[in-house]
Structure 1
Amino acid sequence: MTAPQFDVLAIGNAIVDVIAPCEDGFLAEHGLDKGAMALVDTARAETLYGAMGPGREVSGGSAANTCAGLAALGAKCAFIGQVADDQLGQVFAHDIRAAGIHFDTAAHTGDVPTARCLVHVTPDGQRTMNTFLGASQELTARVVDGARIADAAVLYLEGYLWDPDTPRAAMRDAMQAARDAGRKIAFTLSDAFLLDRHGDDFRALIDGGEIDILFANEGEAMALTGTESCEAAIAALAPKLPVLVVTRGENGAVAVTGDERAEVEAEPVQKIVDTTGAGDSFAAGFLAYHVKGRPLAECLTMGAVAAAEIISHYGARPEADLKSLVAQGLG
């Protein structure tokens, strides 16, 4: 098998985040479920945006954030995601390329604007997200380059993008291309709300041996398996997956492969500022070492360090020198 050019190729929503602090009263006033992610239409997005305080615009999207973390750790990455031919689309394309990530998906032309996520951050660091998917839902199978996917050791798929029909078909094509090339497929469940809509799909992928690495937080894992504890969920999922990674917030994370199980505590953080992208960054840290064949415990430690950096500041992409932080964490 030819050595791949990229360590990871990710497919996901191409989103620009608008992040602003708020009080809990703002969430109650606007009927927002604290800590959750909701999909909104154009009218709802405009209402919430108009009510938000001053914010920051930063490129986001779950899988794109993971790519940014991977690139910061020295991994070679590519990203497939759909933006529109508008200002926010140009911002997204500039930011992802500036991070050293290969991105050549042509902009969508038409009336549908680039996706944006309104992120409301309460004083305790919890983020409540309202996402307008816009052009990201226009991702079609025609932009899935089988040769490009075959040129990556791992295909990383974002559960959020499974929701719209058109991107879901494109992701299935990408999975087949990865399988045909003998590459690994990693999948993140993204959010528990998706399991109400696509849980059967996800369980079928797992039962069919279509996923090599599954990332889930404890709530998602329990919802997927219908269990009432994280340990029960791990026991149900681990035998079906080559690699299972379950994050548990302040309680750290667990990874299982075969008969091997590793655990890591959460890295200490002086102050939790914004939890946006913590799971994305954890996946980046884990994968950065996994593609190098490093021990499971070290992969988890790398994920924990990367996640701790993200929650120490606003925004879902690293600001500190991740390589240095990881070296300290593993030391």
Structure 2
Amino acid sequence: MIELNGQPFGSMQQTYGGDTLNAAVYLARAAKQQPVAIHYVSALGDDALSEGMRKRWQQEGINTEWVLRDSTRSPGLYMIQLDEHGERSFLYWREQSAAKYLLQHSEFAAVAEALRSMDVLFVSCISLAILEPGDRQHLLGLLQTLADAGVEIAFDSNYRPRLWPQDQGQTVRQVYQQMAERCDLALVTFDDEQALWGDSDYQQTLARYQRSGCGKVVVKLGAEGCVYQDFASMTQAELVPTQAVQQVVDTTSAGDSFNGGFLAAYLSGASLSQACKQGNGLAGLVIQHRGAIVAKDLTRSYFNSINKDY
């Protein structure tokens, strides 16, 4: 999506963002020297902004072969407004975005077939939320097919109530339950789980994912860090605390950058504890700067500081 960051009728910066795209960028930066091939699946228009975004994603090291072009639609647009504490509010314009109609694209069947060759597929429930109901069920069916074929499904619940009609609370929970049943790795935020399911603590969140058959779960706890549990090998969850941040500027991409940092370590064979630590550290860096995607120099310096080859 196109991102506008600033104040209405005031200073405004135009860039791009979106939860899975943010995670892909940070994964690419964190895994710069690792043998990780990162493919992004979405749809854009054939306008200049779409082409500009695609080129910039390629410059980040993301393969855009499966970013389809839709000549009848444009990218979605969102604007971020920040308060004095770095908390954000959003305005969205994406009802007719190309990504919303991705599964109806004439070339999507070829993309779906190509996904069978992936080791890991990372999906956000925002992507599920923006789809038409029939397309959503199509995607859930595809994910089941891929899981049955041995593709590891990683999932971020990323619950956004405004994307789901208020009278469809039961539908939302059904969709999330179906997604949980298909995933091997869940990277979720406790605040979202609490809002959706009424969880009183992260233990309830973990127990629900365990009942669904999910193998590994990470619950992001904001300033407290995160907890993780591998149900096949751990009897109790473990907390990975984060370091305090002196000044929070913008929390827009906190969870997305965590996902990118975590996945980079996870895909390179690190332990869940090490992956959580890297996710925490990268998120802590990102929230000290404006925008969903911070400057490359900042992430390069961060990985150099923790003695990572970058």
Q: Same fold (TM over 0.5)?
A: yes
Aligned-pair distance for 1:330? 8.1
Q: Give the SS at the match of 2:121.
A: strand
Q: Give the SS at the match of 1:187.
A: strand
Q: Distance in 2 between matches of 1:232 and 1:158?
A: 21
Q: Distance in 2 between matches of 1:264 and 1:311?
A: 18
Q: Distance in 2 between matches of 1:82 and 1:217?
A: 27
The amino acid that maps onto 1:100 is G
Aligned-pair distance for 1:91? 2.3
- Superimposed CA distance per residue, residues 261-293 of structure 1 (whole angstroms, 9 cap, x where no aligned partner): 332222332321111111011111111111222
Aligned-pair distance for 1:230? 2.9
The amino acid that maps onto 2:183 is I
Q: Give the SS at the match of 2:39.
A: strand
Cα pair 1:89 1:114 within 8 Å, conserved: yes
Q: Distance in 1 between matches of 2:279 and 2:27?
A: 10
Query: Does 2:302 align with 1:325?
Result: yes
Q: 2:4 aligns with which of 9, 12, 18?
A: 18
Q: 1:243 aligns with which of 207, 216, 220?
A: 216
Q: Partner of 1:42 in structure 2?
A: none
Q: Give the SS at the match of 2:16.
A: strand
TM-score scaled to structure 1, two decimals? 0.78
Q: 2:205 aligns with which of 219, 230, 233?
A: 233
Q: Partner of 1:162 in structure 2?
A: 128
Query: Does 2:246 align with 1:270?
Result: yes
Q: Give the SS at the match of 1:117.
A: strand
Q: Partner of 1:101 in structure 2?
A: 62
Aligned-pair distance for 1:324? 5.3
Query: Does 2:157 align with 1:199?
Result: no
TM-score scaled to structure 2, two decimals? 0.83
Matched ranges for 1:264-303 at <5 A? 264-303=240-279
Q: 1:266 to 1:213 in 2, by over 3 A?
A: same
Q: What's the % identity of the aligned pairs?
A: 21
Aligned-pair distance for 1:171? 2.8
Q: 1:167 to 1:271 in 2, by over 3 A?
A: farther
- Larger mean CA deviation between 129-138 and 317-326 belongs to 317-326
Q: 1:129 to 1:225 in 2, by over 3 A?
A: same
Q: Give the SS at the match of 1:57.
A: strand
Q: CA RMSD in A?
A: 2.4
Q: Give the SS at the match of 1:76.
A: coil
Q: Distance in 2 between matches of 1:173 and 1:101?
A: 26
Aligned-pair distance for 1:182? 0.8
The amino acid that maps onto 1:203 is Q
Cα pair 1:16 1:116 within 8 Å, conserved: yes
- Superimposed CA distance per residue, residues 150-197 of structure 1 (whole angstroms, 9 cap, x where no aligned partner): 232110112111122165255335414522431100111112416735
Give unpaired runs (5+ residues) of structure 2: none
Where in structure 1 do 4 or more consecutive aligned residues deviate above 4 Å?
326-331
Q: Distance in 2 between matches of 1:330 and 1:268?
A: 20
Q: Partner of 2:87 in structure 1?
A: 126
Q: Partner of 2:193 in structure 1?
A: 221
Q: Distance in 2 between matches of 1:232 and 1:120?
A: 33
Q: Distance in 2 between matches of 1:323 and 1:299?
A: 18
Q: Distance in 1 between matches of 2:142 and 2:25?
A: 21
